[in-house]
Amino acid sequence: VRQILNAGQNDKIYLVHNIWFERADEIPIENYHRGQILPAGTEVDVNDYNSEEILFSDKSGKKYTVAYNEQRTMTPVKTYIPELFCKINPLNGIDEGTVFIIKKGEVRKGMTKKEVIMSWGNPMSHRTQQKEINNTWIYWNEEHKSKRVIFKNEKVLEVIE
């Protein structure tokens, strides 16, 4: 993972976005918005990954397993790693009020696409293709219950639940 992120041995690794989970040992790649939140910017150690799972731990030693599904992300796990982990804390440079909202797992009108990703994660590519240019992103609360974020001029215009 360090090689994928171009991170040296002494570089810290952080979560790019909040990870929502009910069980730390079985976190769906869809990042369903329920349960506890492991916040964006959390320093982690990535222990291992393969085509079916990504294993990491936080600095307290608690272990987490993301169940990877290439059909949902439409990308190989190795390509997906930088969407989940980074070597610079993604919250750096963001105002305190917005950081508070992100860590609570909320999305509000006026937030940027980057801030939405930090709060809710990346939308699954099989439902939101080309997120860089798409102005409607689809997320899940549960397996069959979705919500949409509508953007205008790269900022949240509306959230439809």
Q: In this predicted model, what pLDDT tens digit does every residue of 101-119 receive, in sequence order?
A: 999 999 999 999 999 999 9
Tell me the pLDDT band of 125, cut-offs 50, 70 and 90: low
pTM over 0.95: no
CA distances from 156 to 12, 104, 136 (A): 31, 17, 10
Task: Report the b/e string of 60-98 with b at 16+ CB within 10 A.
Answer: eeeebbbebbeeebeeebeebbeebbbeebbbeebeeeb
Q: In this predicted model, what pLDDT tens digit does every residue of 12-44 receive, in sequence order?
A: 999 999 999 999 999 998 888 899 999 999 999
Name 86's bridge partners: 14
